[in-house]
């Protein structure tokens, strides 16, 4: 345990808005597992973030448990890492309020995700959606994280987190560590199988566009077979070959092969062979996760116990930072 104190700190979170896709897995979750060997890791189910889209209460409850089980199914040891649910640690919402007051309206309004989501859902552009990045900043800063493993789409939120932290530190002295993003090279952006110019998203209305980490073998094979490619029938990485580039990225991530190796492997072969190999690699990658997930979901008592312990461990660390920030701002201490 003592040795843990010297390891650098990693924090990340994922919203319980649906079953994670292969994009979430290769872009973020797979790195979470890999980093857990070398860092002190805090991983959260970001349930507070997920109410910006107003889910059905029973769906939110079920998905929170499922997402938590999935994190353990990745092979994250709940004793070695702190795996918790964001709303179980009140310090997140408390620090987020403070950070709101050190964030300018203009800088939050520039966030691409805010602009995209408010355009897509004009009927519900709530203040929570606008303040999403300050809550995310609180998640990160509370744990004094050195690194934050995320997909490329979240990079801008990391930048605003750094800006807010630097501003606060500048006003009050060192309070927060300035975190760095960790974006894995391959898998940073897995694209939709049906429109490879768009990122693969778990909320896509076309289920053929994404692979869920819990899809069975036949479904994975079918979805990859129907993935959009091009009419050239040659496997190489190149401009205008978004579909093939995407499948190559997925294959590279699952097998560790380079683009040059993949090109050599499929030289003289068509897309049929290539897609079959990609599907097989994806199935091999995801099967152990699905198996562990099914096992964990059958033991709710164990999951609840892990959640409870996770919340306790996370609160201990988070409250220390929160108290420090509150002291600096000038809140009256009892
Ligand atoms: P939604 O579809 O509901 O907007 P999402 O699929 O983007 O959500 P999040 O919960 O917002 O998922 O993201 C979880 C993590 O997965 C983040 O680190 C994000 O950067 C990463 N991620 C999401 N989509 C992709 C993708 N297509 N490729 C790589 N990484 C991704
Ligand atoms: N906004 C993130 C999820 C998230 C997160 C975080 C990621 C919430 N809090 C803290 C990293 C660190 C997303 O992936 N959409």
User: What is the tens place of the pLDDT at every residue in 170-219?
Assistant: 999 999 999 999 987 766 789 999 999 999 988 888 999 999 999 999 99
Please say if 199 is a catalytic residue. Answer: yes
The one catalytic residue in 33, 117, 223, 275 is 117
Say if ligand 2 is within 6 A of residue 315 CB: no
The yes-or-no verdict on residue 255 having pLDDT over 80 is yes
pLDDT at 28: 87
151, 152, 196, 207: residue to mutate for ligand 1 pocket, most atoms within 8 A of CB: 151
Mean pLDDT of the chain, nearest integer: 95
Say if ligand 1 is within 6 A of residue 153 CB: yes
pLDDT at 169: 98
Please say if 30 is a catalytic residue. Answer: no
Rg of the chain on CA atoms, in Å: 21
Please say if 309 is a catalytic residue. Answer: no
Contact 7, 100 (CB under 8 A): no
CA separation for the pair 213, 23 (Å, rounded)? 9
pLDDT at 5: 59
pLDDT at 289: 95
Contact 12, 161 (CB under 8 A): no
At 59, list the tokens: 């769906």
Please state the rounded mean pLDDT for residues 101-115.
97
Please state the rounded mean pLDDT for residues 49-68.
96
Q: What percent of the chain has pLDDT over 70?
A: 98
Q: Is 139 annotated as a binding residue?
A: yes
CA separation for the pair 192, 200 (Å, rounded)? 4
| Threshold 0.85, pTM exceeds | yes
């Amino acid at each position: 345990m003592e040795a843990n104190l010297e390891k650098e700190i990693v924090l990340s979170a994922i919203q319980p808005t649906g079953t994670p896709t292969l994009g979430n897995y290769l872009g973020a979750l797979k790195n979470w597992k890999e980093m857990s060997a070398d860092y002190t890791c805090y991983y959260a189910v970001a349930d507070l973030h997920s109410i910006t889209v107003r889910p059905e209460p029973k769906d939110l409850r079920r998905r929170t448990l499922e997402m938590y089980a999935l994190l353990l199914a990745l092979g994250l040891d709940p004793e070695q890492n702190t795996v918790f649910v964001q709303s179980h640690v009140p310090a997140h919402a408390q620090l987020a309020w403070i950070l709101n007051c050190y964030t300018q309206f203009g800088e939050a309004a520039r966030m691409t995700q805010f602009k995209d989501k408010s355009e897509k859902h004009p009927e519900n552009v709530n203040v929570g959606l606008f303040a999403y990045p300050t809550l995310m900043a609180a998640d990160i800063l509370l744990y004094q994280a050195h690194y934050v493993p995320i997909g490329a789409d979240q990079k801008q939120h990391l930048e605003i987190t750094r800006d807010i932290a630097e501003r606060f530190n500048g006003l009050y002295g060192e309070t927060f560590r300035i975190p760095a993003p960790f974006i894995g090279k391959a898998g940073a952006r897995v694209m939709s199988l049906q429109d490879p110019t768009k990122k693969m998203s778990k909320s896509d209305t076309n289920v053929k566009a994404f692979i869920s980490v819990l899809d069975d073998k036949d479904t994975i094979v079918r979805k990859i077979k129907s993935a959009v490619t091009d009419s050239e029938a040659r496997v190489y990485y190149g401009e205008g070959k978004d579909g093939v580039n995407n499948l190559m990225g997925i294959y590279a991530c699952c097998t560790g092969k380079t683009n040059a190796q993949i090109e050599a492997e499929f030289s003289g072969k068509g897309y049929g062979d290539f897609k079959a190999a990609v599907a097989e690699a994806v199935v091999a990658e995801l099967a152990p996760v699905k198996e562990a997930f099914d096992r964990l979901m059958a033991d709710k008592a164990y999951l609840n116990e892990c959640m409870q312990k996770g919340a306790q461990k996370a609160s201990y660390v988070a409250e220390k930072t929160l108290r420090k920030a509150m002291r600096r701002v000038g809140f009256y201490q009892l």
